[in-house]
Chains A and B, each alone.
Chain A
Amino acid sequence: MFPQTFDYTAPTTLDEAVKLLGGGAKALAGGMSLIPMMKLRLASPEHLVDLGRIKELNYIREESGALHIGATATHYAVESSPLVRTKCPLLAETAAAIGDVQVRNMGTLGGAVAHADPSADYPAALQALEAKIVLRGAGGDRTVSAAEFFVDAFTTVLNEGEMVREVIVPVDTSGVSYQKVPQPASGFAMVGIAARVKKAGGKVTEARIGVTGLTNSSFRATAAEKALEGTNGSAADIQKAAALVAQGSDANSDIHASADYRKHLAVVYTGRALIAAMGRAQ
């Protein structure tokens, strides 16, 4: 478990980091995904740029109706931030469901997003929240939606030399819930469902369902969302909507769960997440 020799730079400004990344270096954030790969020599980057000392990347703040979270905010920071807990509880709840306490102390939002593990937790919430992801490259910033950002397993729209700068989530007043089935060994989500519901006059006015773990990439279960919107949100309505969540999806399978079981879990946990979210919606 010894990585290959590599160079290491720890810049203190974003510009410096971007310059180094443009030169072919690889970003190091919490190292919770990258370092194990390096120790197994499944990854052997020649140059690491540690983002940990760049103060301008580590923040959580509210700006015109949205929360802006810097790339190096740790899972623990997100989970425990009073701002996130009150203004975007879904994200805090999701952060709290990641791995274990050591992983949450080290791992970062930007790293998790950039890594795009098909079983990562955050993507479900970011899909349900219709989050925006701000990318920084040599040419400056660009902003993409979560739906566009996650392309496939470990594949995002990030270009060579480009990095995740921040994640923007709305200040959210809907009823929310994140429900996951942890893989027994790693703790990653075999299925993770992030649900948001808004109600008015006894009707569901808006439903958002983000799904992770089921397929190669996170997605929004739009058919299920539509089926729920306009209903009373009764148990029967929820069940009907949840049944649609995995429809047509090309579910993954491994020794822990077959594709069919994953799909089934997605349906069950969508139901559970929606019931919990509904209970919290005004």
Chain B
Amino acid sequence: MATTITKTETLVGKRIRRREDPRLITGTATYVEDIQMPGMHYAAIVRSPHAAANIRSIDVKAAAAAPGVVAVFTGKDTEKVGPVPCGASLPDLRVPHHHIMAIDRVYYVGHAVAVVVATDRYLARDAADLLEIDYDVLPAVADPEKALAPGAPAVHPQWPDNTAFNYHQEGGDIAKAFADADVVVKQRITSQRLVPNAMETRGVVAEWRGADRQLNLYTSTQVPHLVRTLVAGMLGLEENRMRVIAPEVGGGFGSKLNIYAEEALMGFVAMKIGKPVKWIESRRENFLTTIHGRGHVDYYEVAAKKDGTILGIKLKIIQDLGAYHQLLTPAIPTLSVLMMPGLYKTKNVSADIVGVFTNCVPTDAYRGAGRPEATHGIERMVDILADELGMDPAEIRLKNFVANEEFPYPTATGLTYDSGNYAAPLDKAMALADYSKILQEQVEARKQGKLVGIGISTYGEICAIGPSPATPAGGWESATVKIEPSGTVTVMTGTCQTGQGEETTFAQIAADELGVDIDNILVLRGDTSIVQYGIGTFGSRATAIGGTALYFALQELKAKVKLFGAMLLESDDVTFSGGQVTCNKSGKTKGLAEIAGATYRAMKLPPNTEPGLVATHFWEPPNFTFPFGAHIVITDIDKETGDIAIRRYIAVDDCGNIINPLIVDGQVHGGVAQGLGQALWEQAVYDDNGQLITGEFMDYAMPRAHMMPWIESSHTITPTNVNPLGVKGVGEAGTIGCSPAVVNSVVDALSHLGVRHIDMPLTPEKIWKLANAGGTN
């Protein structure tokens, strides 16, 4: 008998390095841009330089006659392609027909007007310059509050009030809460427009095999199956005739959780010209045409008792939607409403959303998607309330937290918080910060005219999105596990990682369950012809839902392995562990490879058993998960220049059980970087005419390595009972916890000068003005 190696070491919980990193770091991974095909053609898209204009005429003659050009298509040519879909439904939602290219009117700078297809990408780009487009320029509006003002230019002429929807939600008795209040604090708080800026821009390769009636679409996406279902529909192609492949995806942050016009457009072009076609988004197009994030103006009112008990929260959100609805555009602010109570007990809330059209690129999900806005708002308001009442910001939070014994906790907005110990991360962060000592230090610093700030944010988020009734396309996830005849293991997941590390964490889970070496496990994703079906990676769901689907598929498979093992061992008393089935009586064993071989050769089958070792599980979660945490930020401000220096960044996050601490740290670091980006530097600025004036990295300030503080990251662990892994999700936590902690810190540093609130980004100029004049900006 061959020697079997028994694997005893478990991998879940271990800090093991990401298996995907070598190819990512050495630049050898295969992205859409790396796909080469014989006869490949290249598309250049001609885009509007105006935010609003009627198209009087398009003359394609010169472009069509240019060297190498095989086709030019305008909006009229693609009119029959179905509209770019919006998956969100809200009562009375106004949905503009979103053609894949503008037909007679453009609605934002960057709006696609025509596509030029040539044998070479340089020739395509040259020919694009030859299109003669006559625009009749119209007044535009780029600011959501200005768009709501009477007399504002109408983005869509049929809806002169620029209002896409009004949404109202309330819980408890808000009138009573405000009537009973000792104090009411109010503040206008904005969450500026941001550009997601994945390192890899979008890109599509479409290949039409006419004889097979088969469209292969390579696209940089977080949701390949959704792309297939929806783009096939747009093109009028049977879904089973389309294959979507997301090769390596270089980041998404929500911006690739979408169905984009270009995906259908390249399918259309490939079917027309009968040749493969490639379009790679330039960075400039990425700024202009890939969805933006945030874009909130929030009006908050919080009612409280003198002792700091929060009685109720009122919120009005003005959401800048842009010119169209992309996949989830109108749904994003509803997530803010769901999370508006934060970690606090209050049962009385009232929220209104006004969704506003502007002549800008649509907003949609960007890391955190609705929750950073909500967290920023409530965490700022709690600080403002504490300031009003002369309370310590930590004390007021501890007073209002949902208590440990109250879980599962039904919230004012209709959610059920699964599990929590909200004081634990705050206590830990305060201990790490040496809270009372730093408060003392601040007093001393102020005496010397120095500005030191201490900012706390305690966040909660809604993750593992989500149960199907709450998710437009279904909220379950699927996994298939196949033990090949040789004993190697292939995992096929419906999630679609874009850098999160599931190739490692999912392999850890499978390795432990099957007791095999991690190197024997291959995790596949992102190909609709390989993976059964799946929802995708977003909303911090991949491990909590996709990992759980995998866990259940593994259980089914283990049972079958055991069955075959028992048959081979001719025993009915066996154990499966460490990658082998052992007869409990004789001690004889059968290794996985041997069992796998037998299941495929199928010389003999246990009764009522099929050959082969494959199991598929679709898992529907019973609830969301609700991770939480506390971030403390200590800042030093240079009064002379307004420069902000982050002295300490302490992040204590509770995401339930941790499968790989290294990956969790990475997620927290990346999340905090993006949170800092919003708090301090990033802003998508449109001028009054709808021109995006931060349309390149020369003016759009991304956080870079040398701008980052040291992040002191640690955890508390409160498992969820929503899934058997006890994991909650951590992809967005850093971003959500970060921005309010930073702003609270800087406002705290200036609070003795009368500063109560500052909107992001906290540019040195703003701080300098406030530090030298006081007041609120």
Contacts and interface: CB of A to CB of B under 8 A. Distances in A.
Interface of A: 1-2, 4-5, 40-41, 181, 183-186, 254-258, 261, 264-265, 268
Contacts of B126: 4-5
Nearest to A44: B129
B518 to A, nearest CB: 36
Contact of B765 (A4, A5, A257): A257
B765 A261 contact: yes
Contacts of B683: 255
A241 to B, nearest CB: 17
Interface in B735-777: 763, 765, 768
A98 to B, nearest CB: 14
Contact of A2 (B125, B641, B697, B698): B125
Contact of A186 (B129, B693, B698, B763): B698
B701 A185 contact: yes
Contact of A185 (B121, B129, B697, B768): B697
6 contacts: A185-B698, A185-B699, A254-B699, A256-B763, A258-B765, A268-B640
Nearest to A254: B699
Given A255-B685, A261-B768, A268-B641, A185 B702 contact: yes
B167 interface: no
Contact of B641 (A1, A5, A186, A265): A265
Interface of A is mostly: loop
Contacts of B768: 261, 264
Interface in B241-260: none
A61 B122 CA distance: 43
Nearest to B768: A261
Interface string B623-641: 0000000000000000011
Nearest to B765: A261
Contacts of A258: 765
Contacts of A257: 765
Contacts of B697: 185-186
B284 A40 contact: yes
Nearest to A4: B126
B765 A1 contact: no
Interface in B676-715: 681, 683, 685, 693-694, 697-702, 707
Contact of B283 (A1, A4, A186, A265): A1
Contacts of A255: 683, 685, 693-694, 699
Nearest to B680: A184
Given A184-B701, A257-B765, A1 B640 contact: no
Contacts of A183: 701
The 8 A-B residue pairs with the shortest CB-CB distance, nearest first, are: A185-B701, A184-B701, A2-B125, A261-B765, A1-B282, A186-B698, A184-B681, A185-B699
A261 B122 CA distance: 43
A265 B700 CA distance: 21
A181 B764 CA distance: 11
Interface in B504-553: none
Interface in B275-294: 282-284
Contacts of A184: 681, 701, 707
B646 to A, nearest CB: 14
Nearest to A188: B698
A268 B121 CA distance: 50
Nearest to B697: A185
A108 B568 CA distance: 74
Nearest to A40: B284
A2 B43 CA distance: 12
Nearest to A184: B701
A115 to B, nearest CB: 14
B692 to A, nearest CB: 12
A255 B284 CA distance: 19
A257 to B, nearest CB: 6
B682 to A, nearest CB: 9
Q: Which of B122, B284, B699 has most chain A Cβ within 10 Å?
A: B699
Q: Which of A5, A183, A184, A186 has most chain B Cβ within 10 Å?
A: A184
A185 B685 contact: no
A235 to B, nearest CB: 14
A40 B693 CA distance: 15
B243 to A, nearest CB: 29
Contacts of B694: 185, 255
A265 B282 CA distance: 36
A276 B685 CA distance: 37
A256 B680 CA distance: 12
Contacts of B699: 185-186, 254-256
Nearest to A262: B765
Nearest to B769: A261
A256 B122 CA distance: 35
B681 A1 contact: no
A5 B125 CA distance: 11
B561 to A, nearest CB: 53
A136 to B, nearest CB: 31
Contact of A41 (B129, B698, B701, B702): B129
Nearest to A1: B282
A186 B122 CA distance: 27
Contact of B284 (A1, A261, A264, A265): A1
